[in-house]
Chains A and B, each alone.
Chain A
Amino acid sequence: MNLIAEQIETYKSIIETEGDTLLVNMGPQHPSTHGVLRLVLKLKGEEVVKIEPVIGYLHRGFEKLSENLTYIQIVPLTDRMDYLASITNELAYVLTIEKALKIEVPKKAIYLRVLTAELQRIVSHLVWLGTFGLDLGGALGGGSTLFLYCFREREIILDLFEEFSGARMMYNFNQIGGLRYQPPLDFFSKLKATLPKLKQAFAEYEEMLQENYVFKVRTKNIGVLEVSLAQRMGASGPVLRGSGLAYDIRKAYPYSGYENFEFEIPIGENGDCFDRAKVRILEMKQSLRIIQQALKGMPEGEVAIRPPVRVPTAVKVPAGETYMHIEAPRGDLGVFLVSDGTEKPYRLKWRAPSFSNLAVLPFISNGHKVADVMAILGSLDPVFGEVDR
């Protein structure tokens, strides 16, 4: 009862308008709230006085659902959380289980996991760049041009994923102990053929960062996020790196053989929207570097510790707690598993990067114009499948 009363009080403090302020309820149905976010905005003319993100419109109860599924059945469920980066979700989950079971996967599987995770990072960042164009304005204009260019490049990679796993978005591709499939015979040659195309596209996007005056005017000095605030709010990924802290789990706590790859961590300087955009675009280039290295060093052999079987046998994780986190495209994706020795998890908690990144929004958008709120929200890149889970 107290909790409810408290919530009502908080809500009242938001909706109370004094003087010449205007309360605008953006969403959950709105062209540019990235899915189903509701923003309660208090405006003074065009200026934002207060902003409150309201989440929960895409809550599907995945964590509770997981408690009633076997470890193997959970893998396809993870695809549906951050639906723009399914493979990294699977990877985080699968690595957690493997860590709990203390099993080693074949080297080829490790390399393919890195390869696909980096491809997924590129796909995710491409979707982000496209939608960021829409956020900056011009769903019927330049923004949609950028959007469609990004989707053109994304399509190339999705076609490869489709050949590999049979699906374009929900891959169900990693499995406990390796990968579900061997790559098709011409997968590597096709991938090699597409790399120059991607390289050229990324060069174009980088040029846009440097040359496009309107893009710079709209993003520079907008939504400046201090490093200390970012750390305090638990922001991670490109949002944190945009503020100038070179924290990347691939380097800090290497997993799945990332210590064998050479790459740099691009960082920003001011922590504004422009820097977050810059970090993501440069990251795509680094991902390409990793992919090239993975292609070069790709070993032969099996991709799973046992041959793929149609009907999965039960996996029993010994009782205990396991935590594993990886660098998803949006940041620090953590999985906390409490197992009780049965074939179902006792508790499976996800630490979603989008959730923590979104929490920064009210602190960095005060005093900006309404149009900038969309730019800031876009630069944080939340995916609501992951925020609400």
Chain B
Amino acid sequence: MNTLFYSLVLLAGILLVVAYLTWLERKFAGRMQSRIGPQRVGKPWGLLQPIADGAKLLVKEDIIPQATDKTAYNLAPIVVILATTLVFVTIPLGKSVVLVDLNVGVLFILAISSLALIGIFMAGWGSANKYAILSAMRGVNQLISYEIPLVLACLVPVILAGSMKLSSIVLAQSKVWFIFYPFLGQIAFLIFLVSALAEANRIPFDITEAESELIAGYTVEYSGMKFAFLWLAEYIHLLAVSLVGSILFLGGWNGPWLPSGLWLALKTLLLFLLILWIRWSLVRIRLDQILALSWKVLFPLSLATLILAGGWSFIF
């Protein structure tokens, strides 16, 4: 009963937080671009904007183009949002605030989050649209390439902590956060950040929805709530990335004075803002360049980091 209640609260919380993250992003982008951002809906600072957006998407007509593969087309948004939301099951949101503290937590997160790829491919293929298919192919290319450096980078904290359980990883950082381990921590964090950006399809790696050539990529034929699902999934993924990043590298809820949950929230917000900053200041790089970066730079580098981490944990 308790578990059920917690999961409902978690789900509602995720949606609410994600809604306001979109608001935050719009405000942040506005400030970066010498604009104001949303301010009309909800008097102070346009605070009701995400709710208005949600309501608009809910009442939009759900258009299903004739040529689509109906099963794949209709199922894709559900698969995508399921895969991204399921990750939160094992992410601790504070000291002992977790649904299931799996002892293979890191593995679970990596495995489930890459399932979203199947949903993206279903969306692209099912849409029966040339742009969508190109985008789905790009997505598969990119996600497969970046899965490896991401996993290897995530293994560094696992080796250092000697456990895949997220709460144990945080406990292992109670003295020194992993990011402060000389060289090792920073390089691993950098690889994690870059691969996570690529996994989350964010600029400069958002080639799947490259609007300058593919209009909107795999979401091009979607409308209404199905589009909203695909779009929400992106932000949920981003939230998960920021959370996991701050747990694995930034010491999770460790920190003086403030309560544990607040520390984690602050670190997550910091990471999220960093991702926004990157997004709103760079242009997109090309598919072949993205793949070259993954295989020629990140993959060898992450292997080296892994060996370094092994040596470190052997010596100390």
Contacts and interface: CB of A to CB of B under 8 A. Distances in A.
Nearest to B131: A24
A148 B35 contact: yes
Nearest to B214: A370
Contact of A141 (B213, B284, B288, B289): B284
A371 B207 contact: yes
Interface string B157-196: 0000000000000000000000000000000000000000
Contacts of B281: 142, 145
A145 B280 contact: yes
A148 B34 CA distance: 8
Contacts of B138: 46
Contact of B212 (A45, A46, A137, A145): A137
Contact of A369 (B211, B212, B287): B287
B283 A141 contact: yes
B203 A371 contact: no
Q: Which of A136, A141, A145, A374 has the most CB of B within 10 A?
A: A141
A220 B283 CA distance: 14
Contact of A46 (B34, B130, B283, B287): B287
Given A369-B288, A370-B213, A22 B283 contact: no
A215 B283 contact: yes
A141 B287 CA distance: 17
- Interface residues of A, dominant DSSP: helix
B35 A217 contact: no
B283 A138 contact: yes
A22 B135 CA distance: 14
A145 B32 contact: yes
A142 B285 contact: no
Contact of A145 (B33, B214, B284, B285): B33
A30 interface: yes
B144 interface: no
Given A43-B134, A142-B204, A374-B213, 14 more contacts: A31-B211, A133-B283, A137-B211, A141-B203, A142-B279, A145-B29, A145-B32, A145-B33, A145-B280, A148-B34, A214-B283, A217-B285, A218-B286, A373-B213
Interface of A: 22, 24, 26, 30-32, 43, 45-46, 133-146, 148-149, 152, 214-215, 217-218, 369-374
What 5 A-B pairs come out closest when comparing CB atoms? A137-B284, A141-B203, A136-B283, A148-B33, A142-B282
